Amino acid sequence: MQRTTKSGKRLRWILFFGVLSLIVLSVGLAMFSEKPWIVPQTQKSLTNPLSPSAANLAAAHEIYNDKCANCHGDMGKGDGSEAMMYDPLPSDLTNSAHMRKVTDGEIFYQITEGRKPMPSFKKKLTDEQRWQLVLLVRSFSSPTGVGSSATPSQSTKDK
């Protein structure tokens, strides 16, 4: 009888430490799971073929309201009605410091390819629609509210 009790306690300790180890491992993986976007250099160097015209921005706004605003919010702050459901949280597209570091090609790539939990829009939107969204995304972080197709290096040089 004594032997059964000792083996029962031992089994409980083993199970306890096993479950505790899984919890610690899960938390550790969750903390370090957000990785930066890896965008091919050929995509980074792409420039937006569209100009930030009123027509392009209006067209992009319609698409954005339909496909993006639920997560990224009406003004691109990452505070949409569904934002809290996702990990990682949607990007704050109004963060001008971050947006100055990202090329139009990178934004186009991110919209095109997606990354969990953001879907890919490669087959859902045309190239032109995705480039229009790039203009709109740029406008969220622009002080004038008008999109800019400047690359980060051009933006930095202009200042």
Q: Is the pTM of this model over 0.85?
A: no
**pLDDT value of residue 157:** 35
May I ask the CATH architecture of the domain 41-158? Orthogonal Bundle (1.10)
Residue 26, amino acid? S
What does the domain layout of the chain look like in residue ranges? 1-33, 41-158
The rounded percent of the chain whose pLDDT value lies above 90 is: 62
Average pLDDT across the chain, whole number: 85
Chain segment 77-89, per-residue pLDDT in tens? 999 999 999 988 8
User: Over the stretch 14-63, which tens digit does the pLDDT of each residue have?
Assistant: 888 888 787 877 666 555 556 788 999 999 999 999 999 999 999 999 99
